[in-house]
Structure formats: C-alpha cells, structure tokens
Amino acid sequence: MYLLLPLGLACVLLAAHYDGVLGTPDDFNPYRDILAALDAPGIPSTTPAFPLLRDFTSLYLIAVIWLTVPITVDQWRQMHGTFSSLNGAGVLISRSSPTYSRVQELLGIRRVVEHGRAHGLTAEEAIFEVGNGFLARVGRFQPIVIVVSFVLAILITEGERLNGVYSSFLGRQRTANSSHEVYAAWWANSDHVGSYVAYFLCLTLGVYLVIVQNTVGLTAIWTILGFTAIYEFTLDYRNIDGNFGWASMARVYRTVLVSLALHGTALGFTMAALGSDNWPWVLSMIVVWCTMLPSTTLGPLIAFRGLNKRAQDRKIAELVAGQGARPMADLAQDIEFVRQARAHPLVARPKMQFSVLFVAILWPLILTLIQVYFSVREGGKK
C-alpha cells in the first residue's frame, strides 16, 4: 500500500512535465521561500513563476494525501483486532451494572445500552451494533461523500483562482497584485489542464480521506467511551506486550496521532502559503480539524483518566487479601512492583509522549490560529 505514495507523486510529476511546468531542481528552494515569506533581509528577488518543483507546499500536501491511504488501511486493520486483544489480555473487567458520566449521558450511551437490553442484547453488543451500524450507513452514502469531497475541492481551487496564491513567497517585492501574478504562472492553474486535473483529483481524494477517516475516528472514540461505562479498565501485570496489556490500543492511537500531525501540518502550511484571502475557502476543512482535535485528544484522555491508579488499588487489595502465610517482605516487593507499573494506552513510546503530542497538536493549531489572526487584522485595516 505504501507504494501508492511514489505512484501518486509520479502521476503528478508526469502531468506537470507534460504541461511544461515541472521546473528544474534549482527551483526547489524551500529555505529561500520561507525566508522571503518572513521578510528576512538579504533575500534575492524571485520571479512569480511557480513550477511544481518550487511548490514545496503542494508537494508536501500531495505526499500527505497519498500517504494517508495506507495509514488509514493500517488504522482500520489494527482497530479491528483491538477489542479481542484487550479482552485476551484481561484488561477489561465487566461492571456489575453500567455507570455513566455526564459526557456519556450526552453522547447517548445510556440510551443505547438500555435500548439494546430491551431487545435482548448485552451492553457490549448494543454498543458494537450502533457503532458498526453507523459506519455501515456511512458506507451506503459513499456517493454523497464523494460528491461532497468534489464540491469542497472545487471551493478550494476556485478560491485559489479568484484570490491567487503564494504572494508571501515573493518577499518584500510583493505587490497588491502579486498573488494573481503567481497564480498565472503557477503549475496547477486552470490553464494547465493536465496539472490542474491531477491537482484537483488529489485534493478531492484528500478531502474524501479526511471525511472518512474522521468519521471512523469519531465512531471509535464513541465506542471507547461506551466501554468505560460497561467495563472497568485494569492492567495485565504480566506485561507480555510491554505496555501492561494496552499495546494494541497504543498502536491504534499512534496512527491517530500520525494522521493528526500530517493533516494538521498540511492544512497549516497550505493556509500560510495561500495567504490570508484564501482561508475562508478552506473553512470547511478548518471546521473538521477543530472538531477532530478535541475529540481525538480529550475523548481518549477522559476515557483512560485514572486508569493506573484504579488498577493499582484493585491489585494491591487483591494482594493483601490473598497474602495468607506469605512473608511480608514478598508482599511488600509485589506491592512495590504494582506501584511502579504504568500503562500508556495512548502512547506507543511513553518517552515520546509530549514531543509527539506537540508535533501532532500544537504546531498545526498554532499555524492555523496565526493565519486567521493576520487575516482578521488585515481585514480590519481595510
């Protein structure tokens, strides 16, 4: 599946070569263009010409789109076996009766469980039935999702045509008309038919993947929050998987973080490069991003809050109750082991927790907020 990345890039490169807008290796100079966008002194003047090899933001965006395909497939594959893996590790303990937090009440989890039981289903079956049923309905509406993706891609390309692109990369020599001059010499403008079609199809695919992946992601988060109502989470102190039974969950969530990092950074860089006049045209993608950001970060944090402390208290109580004639020193050693045990269900590599979250969340969010801020400020000066 990862061969799709070089194949996708190759198709775009061939289209640009056919239209004569591929450029040369000398055109690829992100360092120069970024310094120009920052109005750094001493940057030589550049022309508005933007062949594909100069357009590093589009190259990154296209690479992210094609890389998302295998990441999404891998994410679905891992999600499919996560429940059985957790169940096999013994980290899911059925509650005698479900308990619901305010968040779970708002998400309708109580209603789902009670409705399922009224129809002869267990709480687990009811939650799975609703989650899988929702995804099945989304699957039946795939033609509509494709049309929506097509329309959103049209809005983005139309915004680029009307407002121009990349004037910020001209540095201090940019004028009020620079963005339109750059668009006229841009490799993916509407006059370069092959390149435009390749770019447009990549955008459509990208929007489609974002919608589908986020739909699956939100459903998975809802399912996890549902499980906290019917299961008590604990640890597998045998630590066979190196994460006290939660390695499969950590692997799934790692793909979520990677997707957040790729999509958020692509959105942030694209907005920064297109300029302040174009951000309303990608407003729908900003809304999706701002919806997914808290859902995929706060949701799991709520679900696994206090996991280690509750598991430790339960295990220590079991050890004390079953001490019998065991020497006190052995009991103390076991209790110390339990106190040191820490599962990280949301982090595949615990030592990278904060750095990964920073890359995946803070960086693209800051880019987006800066772009919106400057857009509003410039609008107020007009």
Contact yes or no for 229/42 (Cβ under 8 A):
no
Identify the helix (H) or strand (E) that includes residue 253.
Answer: helix 247-274
- Give the span between the Cα atoms of 52 and 61, in whole angstroms: 12
What's the one-letter identity of residue 160? Answer: E
The percent of residues above 70 in pLDDT, for the chain, comes to 86
The model scores a pTM over 0.85: no
Q: Identify the top-confidence range among 109-123, 152-166, 364-378.
A: 109-123
pLDDT confidence band for 132 (50 / 70 / 90): confident
| Rounded distance between C-alpha atoms, residue 221 and residue 353, angstroms | 19
Query: Hey, what's the torsion of the CAs at 304, 307, 308, 314, to 10 degrees?
Result: -170
Give residue for tokens 């589009």: 58
Q: How far apart are the first and last CA of the chain?
A: 49
Asked if 78 and 255 touch (Cβ cutoff 8 Å), the reply is: yes
- In terms of pLDDT, which residue wins out, 121 or 261? 121
Mean pLDDT value across the chain: 82
Res. 110 pLDDT band, cuts 50 70 90: very high
Residue 138 has pLDDT above 90, yes or no: no
Q: How far apart are CA 244 and CA 89, in angstroms?
A: 8
Helix (H, G, I), strand (E, B) or coil at 233: strand
Task: Tell which phi-psi region holds residue 244, choosing left (phi > 0), alpha (psi between -120 and 50) or beta.
Answer: left
Q: Specify the 3-state DSSP secondary structure of 187.
A: coil
Q: Is the pLDDT of residue 10 over 60?
A: yes
At residue 279 the predicted structure's pLDDT band, cuts being 50, 70 and 90, is: low
* Three state DSSP letters for 36-95: HHCCCCCCCCCCCCECHHHCHHHHHHHHHHHHHHHHHHHHHHHHHHHHHHHHHHCCEEEC
Lowest-confidence region among 46-50, 159-163, 175-179, 287-291: 287-291
pLDDT surpasses 80 at 276: no
Helices (H) and strands (E) in the chain, counts: 15, 2
Structure-model confidence comparison of residues 66 and 352, the more confident one: 66
- Residues 184-222 have pLDDT tens digits of 999 999 999 999 999 999 989 988 888 888 888 888 888
pLDDT of residue 245: 92
